[in-house]
Amino acid sequence: MSERMNEPRALNTVTGTEAFQWALIRVMPRVERGEQVNAGVIVYSKRLRYLAVKIEVDESRLRALFPGTDIAAVRGALTAFERACDEGGLASRTISERFNWLTAPRSTMVQPGPVHGGVTADPQAELDRLFRDMVGT
C-alpha cells in the first residue's frame, strides 16, 4: 500500500499529536543569483484545521545583502502572501488547497522553500518556534 508523502495523517492518537507541514518564506531580490533571506514561515495541519503564516523582514539585512532592493515592493509582496492565507480569492478554498498554492514553486521575489513535515499538538507553538529558529530577526 502506497501513501502520498505530503498527505498529513494522525501519527499518535494517544498523545494527541498530529501531522503538520511547514515551509520557509524567502525573499530573493535577484532570483537569478539564488541568494535569499528568510522572511517568514507558513504552517499547516489538515487535522488540526490550522493554516498560519508569520512574516517579518529584516530590512537592514536585506539592504546589506542586496543594495538597491525596493523594500516597499518586498513588503507589498510579503503582505500579499500573508493575506492569501485567509483573504481574497483563495479564502473560499480549503486550507489544504491554500497551503498547496502558497507553497507551489515560483520564480518571484517572494518564494516558498521546500515543504517539511513533523508532528505537533500545538501548531501555533511550532510556528513561533520555527520562526524564532529559522527567521529570527
- Please give the grid coordinates belonging to residue 77: 509582496
pLDDT of residue 15: 58
Residue 130 lies in a domain: yes
Interval 87-105 mean pLDDT: 89
Domain count, the chain: 1
- More confident site: 35 or 42: 42
Q: What three-state secondary structure class fits 91?
A: helix
8-41 residue pLDDT tens? 333 444 457 899 999 999 999 888 888 899 999 9
Structural domain contains residue 10: no
Does residue 2 lie within any of the structural domains?
A: no
- 6 in a domain, yes or no? no
Higher-confidence residue of 2 and 101: namely: 101
Region for 86 from its dihedrals, namely left if φ exceeds 0, alpha if ψ lies in -120 to 50, beta otherwise: alpha
**Does the residue 81 lie in any domain?**
yes
Kind plus residue range of the DSSP H or E element containing 95: helix 95-102
Does residue 8 sit within a domain? no
Which residue type does 13 have? T
Task: Find how far residue 38's CA is from the centre of its chain.
Answer: 10
Quote the CA–CA distance of 123 and 46 in Å, as a whole number: 11
Q: Give the mean model confidence (pLDDT) for residues 62-86.
A: 90
Q: Is residue 119 part of a domain?
A: yes
Q: What is the pLDDT of residue 6?
A: 39
Q: Which amino acid is at 81?
A: F
Number of residues that this document lists for the chain:
137
Give residue 89's domain range: 15-134
Cell of 35: 541568494
Cell of 68: 538597491
pLDDT at 2: 33
d(CA 88, CA 40): 20
Residue 72 is assigned to a structural domain of this protein: yes
